[in-house]
Amino acid sequence: MPLVATGSIVEPAVRDRRGVGAFNVIQLEHAEAIVAGAERAGAPVILQISENAVRYHGALTPIGRAALAVARDASVPVALHLDHVTSTDLVREGVELGFGSVMFDASALDYEANVQATAAVVARCHAEGVWVEAELGEIGGKDGVHAAGARTDPGEAAAFVESTGVDALAVAVGSSHAMLTRDAVLDLDLIAGIARAVPVPLVLHGSSGVADDNLAAAVRHGMTKINIATHLNKAFTAAVRTCLREDDHLVDTRRYLGAGRTAVTDEVARLLGVLGSA
């Protein structure tokens, strides 16, 4: 199955009220595990690489090309997405490399500046056939729009989409980034209200902090693209810790990274079932 456009995965899911799993890639093992989990579930999937991950690797090209290669060899549809990008130079690099979509994050700006910056990125990306997600934020970017208590207004969300031309919108409905516990409570009525007001797919960030039943309910109420990163890192790290604890002499990185990869594969397959992705 060749690499596919992000919209070709997300748009049918909106129509069918299915969730789409969008999982963050940090190492090659993440990309391999995510695709293996999607293949087991028989579901499409989105591989995401964040600006923070790019910073970790020092450049987009090595991890980006690795993820592209994994996606192109998959037996299920796989899209590649550049996540939480604040740099327009990185947007351009991702487009040139072959990413099918980008989440441009200008949520740290005030509303008018966010609209202006996002609309400019949308115009450039659409000229290249690239799908754009944005975030309607308050103050502080990732730690603001999805901080506890932050909420997106449906009317403002509709106006933002109309003014920018974005293809998907990340909204604040009760989740928060980097949660290690799964006890965030989503405002399901607000999700439904935003879904009625906004003509593009909705994206849930901070999904690692949301329990399975609440994730499934969010999809039923109108959420489509479900971003998950920290939860998979917890599974990966727990498996590595167990492997190293059980063998004090273990030095072969393939052994413990392989255990982490297997744990992520299992969890991706399970979560795609929760989201109704297949």
Which one, of 207, 241, 198, 250, lies nearest residue 225 by Cα? Answer: 207
- For 30, 72, 185, 204, 276, the CA distances from 172, given in Å and listed in that order, are 26, 33, 12, 8, 22
Q: What DSSP designation does 207 have?
A: G
Instruction: Spell out the alpha helix ranges (H) of the chain.
Output: 6-16, 28-41, 51-57, 60-72, 88-97, 111-127, 142-145, 154-164, 188-197, 212-220, 230-246, 253-274
Give the Cα separation of 75 and 67 in Å (integer).
15
**205 within 8 A of 177, measured Cβ to Cβ:** yes
Active site residues: 83
Give the Cα separation of 205 and 65 in Å (integer).
25
73, containing H or E segment? none
